[in-house]
Amino acid sequence: MRHITAFIITIGDELLIGQVIDTNSAWIAQQLNKRGIWIEQKISVGDDEEQIRQALKEAEQNSDIIIITGGLGPTKDDLTKEILCKYFKAKLVLNEDALKNVQAHFTKLNLPLLDANYNQAMIPDACKPMQNTRGTAPGMIFEKDEKLFFSMPGVPHEMKAMVENFVIPEITEHFKLSPIRHRTIVTLIVGESFLAERLKDFEAHLPANIKLAYLPSTRMVRLRLTEHLLSSEKSMIDEQFKKLQNLVADVMIATEDISVSEAIGKILLQKNKTIASAESCTGGYIAHLFTSVPGASQYFYGSVVSYVNSVKENMLDVKAATLAQFTAVSEETVKEMVQNVRLKMKTDYAVATTGIFGPDGGTPQTPVGTVWIAVASKHATKTQQLNLPYTRELNTQATAMYVFDLLRRFIVEGN
Closest CA to 14 of 150, 155, 121, 123: 155
Closest CA to 279 of 315, 318, 307: 307
Please tell me the predicted confidence (pLDDT) of residue 232: 65
User: What's the pLDDT at 231?
Assistant: 61
**Cα 351 from chain centroid?**
25
Question: pLDDT for 247-281, tens place per residue?
Answer: 999 999 999 999 999 999 999 999 999 999 999 99
SS3 content of the chain, % helix, strand, coil (to 5): 40, 25, 35
Local structure of residue 251 (DSSP, 8 states): G
User: Could you give all domains of the chain from N- to C-terminal order, each with its CATH number?
Assistant: 5-174 (3.40.980.10), 180-254 (3.30.70.2860), 260-412 (3.90.950.20)
Report whether pLDDT(78) > 80. no
Whether the predicted pLDDT of 1 surpasses 60: no
Per-residue pLDDT tens for 371-383? 999 999 999 999 9
> Which run of H or E residues covers position 215?
strand 210-217
Concatenate the DSSP letters of all residues of 332-365 into one string.
HHHHHHHHHHHHHHT-SEEEEEEE--SSS---SS
Segment 221-249, tens digit of pLDDT: 999 999 987 666 788 999 999 999 999 99
Strand-pair partners of 277:
303, 351
Q: What are phi and psi of 36, to 5 degrees?
A: 90, 20
* Rounded Cα gap, residues 26 and 122, in angstroms: 29
Is 299's pLDDT higher than 60?
Answer: yes
Residue with more model confidence, 385 or 365: 385
